[in-house]
Amino acid sequence: MKNKLLKNLVASIALMLCGVANAGLITIGSVTDNGGGSYTISSNGVDDALIEALFGLSSGLIDGLAVTTDPDLATEGSGLGDNVNISTGEIFSFDWLWTSSEVSGTTTFNDFAFVVLNYENTTVLADTFTPDNTVGSFSWESDYTGVLSYGIFSVDVGDTLVDSFLTVSNLSHTSIPEPSMLAVFALMMMALVSRNVKIRFR
């Protein structure tokens, strides 16, 4: 019971912390809208457990991606995500730019950025071993027709003091048209269902 209450509390806090950048697209933590479909995601943000709760990721998934000698692993981060319609053979893609205020190639505070598709298919895009101002493109071809859920994140590792940034642009898919708050709620529900959390309304 206590655990359930805690999970509901976490979900509520996550909902308060998330914002709506445009219809459907949701953000958590510190994400700057640069205009023109460009967003800068800071590793400065919210606890990685909150990110996992909001985006329906399994607990500990973000820590599991951290490559570091620091036992604290991932500490906090920010990100954006959406649910989009996709068809077999369609490509989901975006461009990215990495910059970090950390010392390059630190084995302790090795901040990183990653993308996750459908809650579990993860790809690390960059870390502090990636030179500043490196640009890249991520693309993924769908082998099904349905809904694609994606999230893109920048994460602090080891401590929370010095930040790293992933700027994303040219996201290839537009949101499923629906009222923005409804989209947030739907993503929340999907996140909760995937974590086997039951909500009782009164």
Q: Which residues bind Ca ion (CB under 5 A)?
A: 44, 109, 111, 156, 160, 162-163
- C-alpha distances (whole Å) from 131 to each of 75, 98, 134, 164, 175 are 22, 8, 6, 12, 32
d(CA 54, CA 162): 24
Residues 24 and 171: their CA atoms lie apart, in Å, by: 13
Position with the least CB separation from Ca ion: 44
Nearest CB to Ca ion, comparing residues 17 and 176: 17
Measured CA to CA, the distance from residue 2 to residue 152 in angstroms comes to 31
Rounded to a whole number of angstroms, the minimum distance from the CB of residue 91 to Ca ion is 32
3-state secondary structure of 17: helix
> Could you tell me the smallest distance in angstroms from the CB atom of residue 61 to Ca ion?
19
- Residue 115 C-beta: closest distance to Ca ion, Å: 19
- Rounded to a whole number of angstroms, the minimum distance from the CB of residue 32 to Ca ion is 14
Report d(CA 158, CA 31) in Å as an integer.
21
Can you tell me the distance from the alpha carbon of 200 to that of 202, in angstroms, rounded to the nearest whole number?
A: 6
User: Which residue, 90 or 111, is less far from Ca ion as judged by CB?
Assistant: 111
Q: Which of 164, 151, 197 is nearest to 75 (CA)?
A: 164
Is the CB of 39 or the CB of 165 nearer to Ca ion?
165
Minimum CB distance to Ca ion, residue 55 (Å): 19
Report CA Rg, the chain: 16
Q: Which is nearer to Ca ion, 90 or 163 (CB)?
A: 163
Q: Which is nearer to Ca ion, 96 or 165 (CB)?
A: 165
